[in-house]
Chain A
Amino acid sequence: MQAGIIVFPGINRERDIAMALEGSLGRRPRMIWHRETDLAGVDLVVIPGGFSYGDYLRCGAMAAQSPVMRAVSAHAARGGYVLGVCNGFQILTEAQMLPGALLRNAGLRFLSMDCHLRVERADTVFSGQYQRGQVFRAPMAHGDGNYFADADTLDRLEGEGLVAFRYVDASGAVSGAANLNGSARNIAGVLSANLRVLGLMPHPENLVDPLMGGVDGKPLFDSLAAIGVA
């Protein structure tokens, strides 16, 4: 599994996710500058967190128009794997590779704390090393993580099993108190119809080392290591 990390100007968690990927995949990911358009040899495209182009327009809106995103879209259309975290999730929705949008947090403040996520399905390439219903901790750090989609879209996502993770309390219960950014139906992560594109707001890559407070995020990267290359 060769991972490639897209580096837009203003991205700031590219090194974090590179460490997490290398730790699980045993191979250093390729850093792909945003002006490149050749993704040949890359099995998994990762769009990391940060503030692409400063996020001075809608978060992710500028990056979504970048030439490399046409290549990412083509990669996904070929059945390639794509993971977007935080700003990466925002970019994937702006590029319409995932449904919905990420709005300003309900409390209108940046939120930086650990949240609990519930694994809604464990049969994807991103979650195979978790159990369905398992609750794990992940740091979040965003100002615009309030997932929004219209009711029909949300119903479709739920019906087709495309909700990857939900914000829950430590016991796994979906609650308003656990849904700090106000996301529709506590949705923290969404999958594409072919289950090969995942966007999520929290940062499992920042919890892959006991020294940093735990390894709750590591199974996500181990899951990617466990699959064969498509």
Chain B
Amino acid sequence: MDQLVDAALGRSFGLSGEEYDRVLAIMGRTPSLTELGIFSVMWSEHCSYKSSRVWLKTLPTSAPWVIHGPGENAGVVDIGEGLAAIFKMESHNHPSFIEPFQGAATGVGGILRDVFTMGARPIANLNALRFGDPSLAVTKRVVDGVVRGIGGYGNCVGVPTVGGETNFHRSYNGNPLVNAMTVGIAAQDRIFLSAAAGIGNPVVYVGSKTGRDGIHGATMASSEFAADSEEKRPTVQVGDPFIEKLLIEACLELMATDAIVAIQDMGAAGLTSSSVEMAGKGGVGIELDLDAVPQREAGMTAYEMMLSESQERMLIVIDPAREDMARAIFEKWELDFAVIGHITDTGRIVVKHRGVVEADIALDPLAEQAPLYERPYTEAAKPAALGDVDDPVGIGPALLRLIGCPDLASRRWIWDQYDGTVGGQTVKRPGQADAAVVKIPGSARALALTTDCTPRYCAADPEAGGAQAVVEAWRNITATGGVPLAVTDNLNFGNPEKPLIMGQIVAAIRGMGAACTALDFPVVSGNVSLYNETEGSGILPTPAIGGLGVIADAAQAVGIALAPGLDLVVVGATRGELGQSLWLREVLGREDGAPPALDFAVERRNGEFVRGLIIDGVVTACHDVSDGGLLVAVAEMVLAGDVGAALSLAPEGTAPKVGAHGFWFGEDQARYVLAVVDGAAVMQAAQGAGVPAVMLGRSGGDRLTLHDGTAISVAEMRTAHEHFFARWFA
């Protein structure tokens, strides 16, 4: 391909003029097309984190139980018994709008590879999804395709999809967010890293063949959408979960031997990023012979092969003495296995094709001189607190409206399409507990897993919103009895070149960092997705948090389902904070005020009190209070257990005094509803621990009743709760 390489071509590849000049300086000559391609994807926002890196570095990433923090393919934490949990969350936002099914499917495939490439068998998938206005036809198309795509891939590879979250807001109309999380388990002494070593060691390509799909996908993921985004469909990859399943089994079989020196999946920017990163981390060089790359199509150029994002491929540096044994494993699984190069001592990546050197780049400057921006930012003023608001509809009607609104309606329609039981270790399935609980095979232990973010809080106050996302993940794990260990983050924002957007990023990371530090809940892996804008209009800032905790005995885990005849106790103080609440939005049509206040010390105290009760076996059911407030939390417990409740507590009797709507629908943090056999004993324990708690009422019957005589049947609540998706996709 004799294409003129110049600054204009660089621009079309996403490199600024200044970045192109830097390429010229490093190369000392005009780069070849392949070289320009390599620079452009390695320096894309997606691969280089050039706008966010200076801020990401401020996040806390260590704790005694952290084995590998950010910088590897996924984060690794010690979960006891010599085992490690390996996990990460990653976005596939842009592709999922262009082609929802394949975009979401390959998002799942990519994050699975990040985890099993480190030696872990994946045991759970989760996903955090944000969609546009449900009244739009395009939203329905995207929701349907994304859900089918996640299910189509996860169900086939046999990894249970056990949890996640879904929000709707018009800001996602042209930019849905698909954040997929995978969690795997490995022995601590069998963890595989990506740093290449051993001069002369063969570089092996395994998995699917390389085609022309996904070329410049990483670049696409680093720019805004315009009206022509449909034309970008060829940059979306196509997934093959069957091959992925074979790849998992073959890699794990190979990992049981001592053949692997280093291994990395070919994710964004495919062969380029895997080879550059492996050699770079190892401080060595790498030479590739592209003639040996298994190819799906004839006549592919070096440029196309280096930039292809064909799925289900891995790159392995292997012990040459073990090559034949390794080859036999991949032949058994009927996967391609090709030696496509070797490790050198040159510190350069050299790419040869048909006897011609198509690229020859020094690795150090490619990495070290990668652009790093301290972009100008402006932080918006903190929102004014919400003043007094009147309740125009009454408590009962507001409850029915809330539990039926798109953000709170039952997600059964979604999770019914995901295989949640394969593996035979799912202790708490979607909807059964605040976090999914998955037992570790061969151990009594279980992991508690959740994804959380409240984007409307982040929009109002990015710092508070970033912190709240972390706190809610911590709380959801705590509410199952889990000890929160670490998080993975997926930072979704608009265009960082706009100071206000950059200000959201800076503030959200600051809030996250403060919460992670205060709760000993470090960030061990993550992903940043910027430029989530269509025609200049950005998404709500959405720093999604994936949380992981451990439960020493899976039998101790509790869910949210009420049983009859139990006392209901609210732990945590209720002040009636309605700013940015769902009640305010759904009942008054307002999205204003300040999000609820956070106090990390109170969170920690209340959470540790609740977790202690759960581990002591005192708690039958537990649910944290979040979106929709206290009454919605109780309603969700009622619906999960199919058991009513009589709430005898009068809001007027609480201090400080709040209106009934503030009491029932305020989204004050650090609260849990507990269902216990002996409420008085729990109240006494709370008093002893200095934790605010009130007796709310008692479970039983087939209605939810309030002290003022309001009564709603469980059946009526269920109809309201199940209506939204059922009608939408009828």
- Per the bound structure, the CA–CA distance linking A109 and B412 in Å amounts to 13
Taking a contact as CB atoms under 8 Å apart, the answer to whether A12 and B242 are in contact is no
Determine the residue in chain B with the shortest Cβ distance to A53. Answer: B242
Taking a contact as CB atoms under 8 Å apart, the answer to whether B417 and A10 are in contact is no
Q: Does B80 contact A (CB under 8 A)?
A: no
Taking a contact as CB atoms under 8 Å apart, the answer to whether A212 and B425 are in contact is yes
Q: Which A residues are CB-close (under 8 A) to B423?
A: 15-16
Determine the residue in chain A with the shortest Cβ distance to B159. Answer: A12
Taking a contact as CB atoms under 8 Å apart, the answer to whether B156 and A10 are in contact is yes
Determine the residue in chain A with the shortest Cβ distance to B243. Answer: A54
CB distance from B280 to the nearest CB of A (A): 35
Determine the residue in chain B with the shortest Cβ distance to A33. Answer: B332
- Per the bound structure, the CA–CA distance linking A16 and B245 in Å amounts to 16
Q: Mark B234-260, 1 if CB is under 8 A from A, else 0.
A: 000000111101100000000000000
Q: Does A93 contact B (CB under 8 A)?
A: no
Q: Say whether, besides A9-B334, A53-B242, A112 and B420 are in contact (CB < 8 Å).
A: yes
CB distance from A205 to the nearest CB of B (A): 7
- Per the bound structure, the CA–CA distance linking A143 and B334 in Å amounts to 26
Taking a contact as CB atoms under 8 Å apart, the answer to whether A112 and B418 are in contact is yes
Q: Say whether, besides A10-B245, A51-B242, A19 and B555 are in contact (CB < 8 Å).
A: no
Q: Say whether, besides A12-B422, A205-B424, A212-B425, A110 and B242 are in contact (CB < 8 Å).
A: no
Taking a contact as CB atoms under 8 Å apart, the answer to whether A112 and B241 are in contact is no
Q: Does A186 contact B (CB under 8 A)?
A: no
Taking a contact as CB atoms under 8 Å apart, the answer to whether A51 and B427 are in contact is no
Q: Say whether, besides A13-B158, A211-B555, A112 and B242 are in contact (CB < 8 Å).
A: no
- Per the bound structure, the CA–CA distance linking A205 and B152 in Å amounts to 22
Q: Mark A181-216, 1 if CB is under 8 A from B, else 0.
A: 000000000000000000000010110110111000
Q: Which A residues are CB-close (under 8 A) to B151?
A: 110, 112
CB distance from B594 to the nearest CB of A (A): 40
Q: Does A113 contact B (CB under 8 A)?
A: yes
Size class of B's contact patch? 20 to 34
From B242, B416, B424, contact of A15 by CB (8 A): B424
Q: Mark B357-381, 1 if CB is under 8 A from A, else 0.
A: 0000000000000000000000000
- Per the bound structure, the CA–CA distance linking A209 and B305 in Å amounts to 49
CB distance from A108 to the nearest CB of B (A): 10
Q: Which A residues are CB-close (under 8 A) to B555?
A: 211
Q: Say whether, besides A110-B151, A111-B416, A211-B555, A206 and B421 are in contact (CB < 8 Å).
A: yes
Query: Which of A112, A203, A208 has the most C-beta atoms of chain B within 10 angstroms of its own C-beta?
Result: A112
Q: Which B residues are CB-close (under 8 A) to A13?
A: 158, 422, 424
Q: Say whether, besides A9-B333, A211-B555, A54 and B156 are in contact (CB < 8 Å).
A: yes
- Per the bound structure, the CA–CA distance linking A139 and B373 in Å amounts to 51
The prevalent SS among residues of A at the interface is mixed
Taking a contact as CB atoms under 8 Å apart, the answer to whether B242 and A19 are in contact is no
Q: Say whether, besides A12-B157, A12-B158, A54-B241, A212 and B419 are in contact (CB < 8 Å).
A: no
Q: Say whether, besides A9-B242, A211-B439, A110 and B417 are in contact (CB < 8 Å).
A: yes
- Per the bound structure, the CA–CA distance linking A62 and B311 in Å amounts to 23
Q: Mark A107-137, 1 if CB is under 8 A from B, else 0.
A: 0011111000000000000000000000000
Q: Which A residues are CB-close (under 8 A) to B155?
A: 51, 110, 112, 141, 143
CB distance from A177 to the nearest CB of B (A): 13
- Per the bound structure, the CA–CA distance linking A206 and B419 in Å amounts to 12
From B242, B416, B439, contact of A54 by CB (8 A): B242
Q: Mark A5-43, 1 if CB is under 8 A from B, else 0.
A: 000011011011001100000000000000000000000
Q: Does A50 contact B (CB under 8 A)?
A: yes
Q: Which A residues are CB-close (under 8 A) to B55?
A: none
Taking a contact as CB atoms under 8 Å apart, the answer to whether A112 and B421 are in contact is yes
Interface residues of B in 261-286 (CB under 8 A from A): none
CB distance from B241 to the nearest CB of A (A): 7
Interface residues of B in 411-450 (CB under 8 A from A): 415-427, 429, 439, 441
Q: Does B464 contact A (CB under 8 A)?
A: no
Q: Say whether, besides A12-B158, A54-B241, A112 and B419 are in contact (CB < 8 Å).
A: yes
From B245, B416, B441, contact of A12 by CB (8 A): B245
Q: Which B residues are CB-close (under 8 A) to A212?
A: 421, 424-427, 439
Interface residues of B in 143-160 (CB under 8 A from A): 148, 151-152, 155-158
Q: Does B554 contact A (CB under 8 A)?
A: yes
Q: Which A residues are CB-close (under 8 A) to B415?
A: 112
Taking a contact as CB atoms under 8 Å apart, the answer to whether A211 and B427 are in contact is yes
- Per the bound structure, the CA–CA distance linking A20 and B423 in Å amounts to 11
CB distance from B145 to the nearest CB of A (A): 13
Determine the residue in chain A with the shortest Cβ distance to B553. Answer: A211
From A9, A16, A20, A56, contact of B422 by CB (8 A): A16
Q: Which A residues are CB-close (under 8 A) to B157?
A: 12
- Per the bound structure, the CA–CA distance linking A158 and B418 in Å amounts to 33
Interface residues of A in 118-174 (CB under 8 A from B): 139, 141, 143
Interface residues of A in 62-115 (CB under 8 A from B): 109-113
CB distance from B432 to the nearest CB of A (A): 8
Q: Mark B131-149, 1 if CB is under 8 A from A, else 0.
A: 0000000000000000010
- Per the bound structure, the CA–CA distance linking A111 and B416 in Å amounts to 6
Q: Which A residues are CB-close (under 8 A) to B152?
A: 110
Q: Say whether, besides A9-B334, A111-B416, A141 and B242 are in contact (CB < 8 Å).
A: no
CB distance from A73 to the nearest CB of B (A): 23
Q: Which A residues are CB-close (under 8 A) to B441?
A: 15
Q: Which A residues are CB-close (under 8 A) to B158?
A: 12-13, 50-51
Determine the residue in chain A with the shortest Cβ distance to B161. Answer: A112
Q: Say whether, besides A10-B246, A12-B157, A54-B241, A19 and B417 are in contact (CB < 8 Å).
A: no
- Per the bound structure, the CA–CA distance linking A217 and B246 in Å amounts to 29
Taking a contact as CB atoms under 8 Å apart, the answer to whether A112 and B417 are in contact is yes
21 contacts between A and B (CB under 8 A): A9-B245, A10-B242, A10-B246, A13-B158, A13-B424, A15-B423, A15-B424, A16-B423, A16-B424, A51-B155, A53-B242, A54-B240, A54-B241, A54-B242, A56-B242, A109-B148, A110-B148, A141-B422, A211-B427, A212-B425, A212-B439
Closest 7 CB pairs of A and B: A12-B158, A54-B242, A16-B424, A141-B419, A139-B421, A206-B421, A51-B156
Spell out A's residues near B (CB within 8 Å). Answer: 9-10, 12-13, 15-16, 19-20, 49-51, 53-56, 109-113, 139, 141, 143, 203, 205-206, 208-209, 211-213
Spell out B's residues near A (CB within 8 Å). Answer: 148, 151-152, 155-158, 240-243, 245-246, 333-334, 415-427, 429, 439, 441, 554-555
Extra A-B contacts (5), CB below 8 Å, given A112-B415, A206-B424? A12-B422, A51-B155, A110-B152, A112-B418, A143-B155
